[in-house]
Structure 1
Amino acid sequence: MKASKSLERGILSSYDHQKPSIRLGYYLMNLIVLVMMCVMVYPLLISLFNGLKVNKEVNSFPPTFLPRDGWHFDNYKRAWEYIDLPKYLKNTLFIFGGNMLIIVIVIGFAAFALSKMKFPFRRGIYYYFLLTLFVPATTYAIPNFVNLKELGLMGWYGAIWLPAGANAFYLLLLKTFMDGIHNETFESARIDGASEIRTFFQIAFPLSIPIFATLAIFVFATAWNDWFWPNFMLGQDYKPLSAAIKTLVLDARMLDLNMKFAILTIVMFPPIMIFLFFQKYILRGLYLGGVKG
């Protein structure tokens, strides 16, 4: 018997695709997705190709999409040597590592306490944390600045690490995930005499690795892309890559435009590649953090 071709089963069956109206809607949705993809990819390609042009061609009008006066790959070599990219990359990784450590210890303990420990006003405290999600970040920027200045953390990594422990969104994800871990596991550990700290590190944390891995990707993306607060709080020797790009590249008046595009392309693609490699872990972590088991 000859096997018949059929589409992969989704919300629409092969029978549904035989209806002209449904088929038209299906093609229309695919067209919309294709247009959205082109709109998102176009700026990346413009930055990549402009970094391969001579400066005169970048400033020409009408603009060209592909280089016409040759492909100047040496622009990227000069872009790498223009600023100390390894130094600012190291600063970015220091910020990421400190933020992740603070999140594991502070937010991890807070999520564990709100999920598995019983104490007065637990639900009210949880809602208080969630309430901060509705407060615009601009309203507490000045109070944060004053607090960090009085603590003597300005100009150093501590000005970035300390506020990382007050992220209500991460707290929500971690608590929701830990709510899905059976309480019997922790009760057995308490019966055996394990302290709450030991219970967290030996049971809660290992079982929460998927959601912590997802948060690590989010924290890395924030450390890589955020420039306003680090540029405002850190000294030049401690600034991450994004803040250095803002100061030394985007604000530089004497730097050729093709060199700016080359530097921006170098900085732009690593987080994209990381997301492409780890996207399944991001989606899985969000699913596990948003659905109670």
Structure 2
Amino acid sequence: MANPERGIISRYDMKRGPVKVFYSLMVAVIAIMVFSMLYPLLVTFFNGLKPNEEVNSFPPRLLPSVWEWGNYQKGWTFINLPLFTRNTLLIFGGNLVMTVLVLGLAAFSLSRLAVPWRRAVLAFFLSTLFIPPTTYLIPNFLNLKDLGLVNTFAAFWLPAAANAFYLLLLKSFFDEIHQEMFEAARIDGASEWRCFIGIAVPLSVPIFTTLSIFVFSTAWNDWFWPSLVMHSDKKYPLATAINRYVINARRLDTNVRFAILTMVMVPPMGVFLLFQKYIMRGLQLGGVKG
């Protein structure tokens, strides 16, 4: 009987020379990948603790000679981080609601309802994945301008309801839910809306959690589209404010600049570390049991 705890490479395999070489090479590649990912984060963090002269010195040093924690206090007061963070969270909340309601209902309809020309409709939506996003920036802006939604948060919420990739993920997840559950609910008199709210949504918590992390990452990191549709400083999301007032600032010390960037990096990293298990679970679309 096979040992369920046996890994890909056993102790017997490790006694063979080629396996040892391959294993060492694999560990070296992983170590290089980890270093390449952590090094920029560490440089940003430690540069935010250095004196400004030491940040620009050559040869560069990783650790500061003098730890100046006051740089983070200066960065916190340099721009209104709570205001821009609130704007980002408002964009994230609206985008998430549109994703759950509009894309969720659309995916449920294509998965469980007898929609006419269902395959053709799905193929049309999926074909938009091959269109470069830069090609429809101007049409989207003109449409929002005609609707009077420029300089409003609705300029982010409305396009969020037309994400074909999220639609594909939701439909694939709904396809794995057993049809018998919906048929039993319909026999009991449940409407299609009740089937969606009472059955599809509770069973789809992993995929909705995964999508919420994707939506949060997009809202937190996007700066170009907000710079086009937002014309008020008080409505900028955090990424746009960082680009305008920190990255392009001319009279800002480099160490304070790095301190601000470090504070901006921490929240998305924390969100990913807390919810990474939901990402893996949500991407395994065949894991739903009846």
Q: Provide TM-score, normalisation by structure 1.
A: 0.94
Q: Secondary structure of 1:9's match?
A: coil
Task: Name the % identity.
Answer: 56
**What is the aligned partner in structure 2 of residue 101 from structure 1?**
97
Following superposition of structure 1 onto structure 2, how do residues 222-233 of structure 1 map, counting pairs within 5 Å?
Answer: 222-233=218-229
Distance 2:127 2:9 in 1: 40
Are positions 1:281 and 2:278 aligned together?
yes
Distance of 2:79 and 2:30 partners within structure 1: 38
User: Any unmatched runs of 5+ in structure 1?
Assistant: 1-5
RMSD: 1.6
**Greater mean alpha carbon deviation, residues 193-202 or residues 40-49:** 193-202
In the TM superposition, residue 191 of structure 1 has moved relative to its aligned partner by 2.0
Match of 2:9, SS state, is: coil
Q: For 2:210 and 2:119, how far apart are their aligned partners in 1?
A: 26
User: Corresponding residue for 1:32?
Assistant: 29
Deviations 1:8-41 (A, max 9, x none): 5222222221111011101110110001100110
Select 2:38's aligned residue among 34, 37, 41.
41
Distance 2:145 2:219 in 1: 21
SS of match in other structure, 1:166: coil
Q: Within the alignment, does 1:57 sit opposite 2:61 as a pair?
A: no
1:124-144 superposed Cα distances (whole Å, 9 cap, x missing partner): 111111111111101111111
- Following the alignment from structure 2 to structure 1, what is the Cα–Cα distance between the partners of residues 206 and 280? 10
CA distance in 2, matches of 1:149, 1:270: 32
Q: Which residue of 2 aligns with 1:3?
A: none
TM-score w.r.t. the length of structure 2 is 0.95
Structure 1 contact 228–243 (Cα < 8 Å) conserved: yes
Of 70, 86, 89, the match for 1:90: 86
Of 152-161 and 8-17, deviating more is 8-17
| 3-state DSSP of counterpart to 2:275 | helix
Alignment of 1:20 onto 2:17:
yes
Distance 1:7 1:118, change over 3 A: closer
Q: Taking structure 1 as reference, are residues 129 and 223 closer, same or farther at Cα in structure 2, changes over 3 Å only?
A: same
Residue in structure 2 matching 1:157, options 141, 153, 158: 153
The residue number in structure 1 matching 2:202 is 206
CA distance in 2, matches of 1:7, 1:170: 36
The count of corresponding residues between Structure 1 and Structure 2 is: 286
What is aligned with 1:116?
112
Post-superposition Cα deviations, 1:225-260, rounded to whole Å, max 9, x if no partner, equal 111111211232211111110111111101111111
- The answer to whether the 8 A contact 2:203-2:288 is kept is no
Q: Is 2:104 aligned against 1:126?
A: no
